[in-house]
Structure 1
Amino acid sequence: MLEVIFEDDHDTAAFLHLIQQSDDRRHFIVREGIKKVGIERSESAFSVQRFIEPIFVRFFLECKEDEHMLSLIEDAYCFTDQDEQQQILQLAHSIMEGELDDHPFEPKKEPRTQFISDALRTISLDAGVFSVRSFQTFRLGKYYERLREYAEAAIDEYRMEQEYQNFIQSLRDYVTSNPPRMKKVRIVHDRAFTLWELRYVSEREQKKYIDRRFVREHPMYIDSHLLAPLISIAPETVELYTDKPEHMMSRTIQNVFQERVRLFPLGAFVSEKTEG
């Protein structure tokens, strides 16, 4: 019989729940104890090792992974606020699932589940005592190193998002606290973004529309051809013509000007030009 030792009743219950979900459960005898579960086969044709390996993989992924990630985020990277921890954890899950396609973190060829499976195969699980805590401490080094990489990538993503939000707020504050220099402007996104009212204005003349002091305060973020004059003009209405409203620049314009933005498909502007 294999006896699995847990640290608490919650883990014991979670593991038993996973066993109950297995289609092969009927071929094994499962005995529940205090912080432990005993497993033995009821039919000689079946292997405890083969039965229990995928259950252990699910257990570490579904029941212990977030616990370890949150511990890393708090203890190794000093994020103690629970809301921040949850945001970072969610970003880590997004990276793991490949949801952030433009993220610079490149997933390794070997999935993290493989590290758990490989570690389980180095020991016999047909009989004896299996301590979850000892296995985590001595066998899952490569798996936890992978989780650290995901945590670091998520923290980088979180910090970038925080910087972006602070940047957006500073632009929003500027726009709301300064009188508009034009009532309405149109921005046409056809390959590039064009501030239509300034399309024939020379670069020298465009500089007259730009608040240089404000640009100096945000040198890394302000686009001198579009964002700098647009923010400095602080129009009452921004008509944005684009077929890609989720483009980073489109999102920035919408986030800064909020209810001042009127969004149109690119084709609507082409029709307007033709009719005019």
Structure 2
Amino acid sequence: MEIVFETAQEAVDLYRELPAVFRQEAGVLLINSRLVIFPATEADFGELAFLISRFIIEKFERKWLLDIIENQYFFSEPEEKIEILSIITAIFAGEKNDLPQTGTLPDKRQLIIESLDGILSEHSTFTFQSILRFRLTAYREVLRQFVEIAIDEYKLEQEYQVFIDKLRRIIRAYRPLCEKIEVLDEQPFRLYDDRHRLIRNVQSVRSFYPLLKQWGIEAEPSIILTLIALAPKQVIVYTDRPEHSIMRTLHQVFEDRVCFLPGDFHAENEAGLQ
């Protein structure tokens, strides 16, 4: 089998990606801009397909993703492209498992391997460019779908940051009504004033919601908006789930006004007051 490359450097790059053991067992020869390979078994063909797929992903995938982002979805600002690309990278690394759409897409590496199945075993000579141009349609379509998912996530994150910014500005714009609020993370949340008295008329803060509309905020009642309505200078949250999305949002909105303590700290404080 002979693979012909556009440049000698491309041939060298792939040659270096092949493990020494494979090069020896499959009799790989580097001749100028060509690789001559003598795979002897089905396992050799399978390993070669895997190694070529890894080479394609490492060498071309980032460039193709950026091309899709810019030329198919028209994001041309460098910062936007990098943000979207970072979301895609997180998806590939398994760090965005909360996006259910990603679970329905086929494995991108397997698509490349399947596209190589015929050409490696049935052609004695072919160009590497023919693989890139004609054999990777399914793989590149999956890349486009990942880009689409990432762009949707990027837009949601942008909207979320606008929402957080508005809430921060509300806090800064209005005079605090109390010094401190303690929040006990239970179902439902329990709120205590700075004299450690349970705040029972939490529902009364709903009168604050028409004011929120003046800021362009349409939202259902929540612990976050309740605290904004009460406008404390300090918020202490007793919780055993500081990484939960609600807690992260509280931290982003109230910034240095909020601190988080373990839930059992509240029980100890109550015992000390009795």
User: TM over 0.5: same fold?
Assistant: yes
Tell me the amino acid that sits aligned with residue 98 of structure 1: G
Tell me the amino acid that sits aligned with residue 226 of structure 1: I
Matching residue of 1:116: 112
Contact 1:190/1:266, CA 8 A, preserved across alignment:
no
Contact 1:5/1:129, CA 8 A, preserved across alignment:
no
The verdict on how the C-alpha distance between 1:14 and 1:174 changes in structure 2, with shifts beyond 3 A counting, is farther
2:51 to 48, 55, 67: 55
The verdict on how the C-alpha distance between 1:50 and 1:199 changes in structure 2, with shifts beyond 3 A counting, is same
- Say whether 1:258 aligns with 2:258: no
Larger displacement relative to structure 2 (72-81 or 119-128): 119-128
Matching residue of 2:96: 100
Deviation at 1:86, TM superposition (A): 2.0
Give the Cα separation in 1 of the matches to 2:202 and 2:258.
26
TM-score normalised to the size of structure 1? 0.85
Residue aligned with 2:101, SS:
coil
Superposed CA deviations along residues 160-198 of structure 1, whole A, max 9, x for unmatched, are 111111111111122123221111111221244333347
Tell me the amino acid that sits aligned with residue 228 of structure 1: L
Matching residue of 1:88: 84
Tell me the amino acid that sits aligned with residue 16 of structure 1: Y
Give the Cα separation in 1 of the matches to 2:229 and 2:173.
11
Residues 117-132 of structure 1: matches in 2 within 5 Å? Answer: 117-125=113-121, 128-132=124-128
Q: Which runs of 5+ in 1 are unaligned?
A: none
1:26 to 24, 27, 35: 24
Superposed CA deviations along residues 226-265 of structure 1, whole A, max 9, x for unmatched, are 2223123332111111111111111111011111112101
Deviation at 1:110, TM superposition (A): 4.0
Give the Cα separation in 2 of the matches to 1:45 and 1:170.
64
Tell me the amino acid that sits aligned with residue 112 of structure 1: K
Give the Cα separation in 1 of the matches to 2:21 and 2:243.
44
Residues 1-276 of structure 1: matches in 2 within 5 Å? Answer: 1-6=1-6, 11-19=10-18, 21-27=19-25, 28-33=27-32, 36-41=33-38, 49-50=45-46, 52-108=48-104, 110-125=106-121, 128-197=124-193, 199-201=199-201, 203=203, 205-208=204-207, 210=208, 212-215=210-213, 217-220=215-218, 222-276=219-273
More helix by share: 2
Alpha-carbon RMSD across the aligned residues, in angstroms, is 2.6
Residue aligned with 1:183, SS:
strand
Residue aligned with 1:236, SS:
strand
Aligned residues: 268
Q: Which runs of 5+ in 2 are unaligned?
A: none
